[in-house]
Amino acid sequence: DAGVTQSPTHLIKTRGQQVTLRCSPKSGHDTVSWYQQALGQGPQFIFQYYEEEERQRGNFPDRFSGHQFPNYSSELNVNALLLGDSALYLCASSYDKAYEQYFGPGTRLTVT
């Protein structure tokens, strides 16, 4: 059983560009959450998707958007990249009623 997978592993972008990160949840999971982890910090909640809708959102600007597909996989999009968006982006999946989240290996985004 594959766990949570994320792609790509690493990404380098220039300020002002747009980026899309992808996540496939663990088999049987229907909920996907995204977190941003800046260097030396704990992960910060970006948003959560359930039944293809954004169910809740953390304190992140509208430049951060997402999508969930019918197969429960998800994308995180970031527009107009800033240097401060450089971070490790973590995806976590869960079964809606189980309240335990399983994390993927992350995507390291560097904005130059």
Partner 1 sequence: KQEVTQIPAALSVPEGENLVLNCSFTDSAIYNLQWFRQDPGKGLTSLLLIQSSQREQTSGRLNASLDKSSGRSTLYIAASQPGDSATYLCAVLTGANNLFFGTGTRLTVIP
Q: Which residues bind partner 1 (CB under 8 A)?
A: 31, 33, 35, 40-45, 48, 55-56, 58, 88, 90, 92, 94, 96, 99-106, 108
- In the complex, the smallest distance separating the C-beta of residue 36 from partner 1, rounded to whole angstroms, is 11
Burial call 42-69: b when 16+ CB within 10 Å, e when fewer: ebeebbbbbeeeeeeeeeeeeebbbebe
Cα 94 to chain center, whole Å? Answer: 13
Ramachandran angles phi, psi of 98, nearest 5°: -95, -25
Residue 2 or 18: the one with the smaller Cβ distance to partner 1 is 2
| Shortest distance (Å) from residue 71 CB to partner 1 | 21
Decide whether 18 or 110 has the Cβ nearer to partner 1: 110
Report whether 72 contacts 26 (CB < 8 A).
no
Q: In terms of CB distance, is 54 or 80 closer to partner 1?
A: 54
Closest separation in Å from C-beta 92 to partner 1: 8
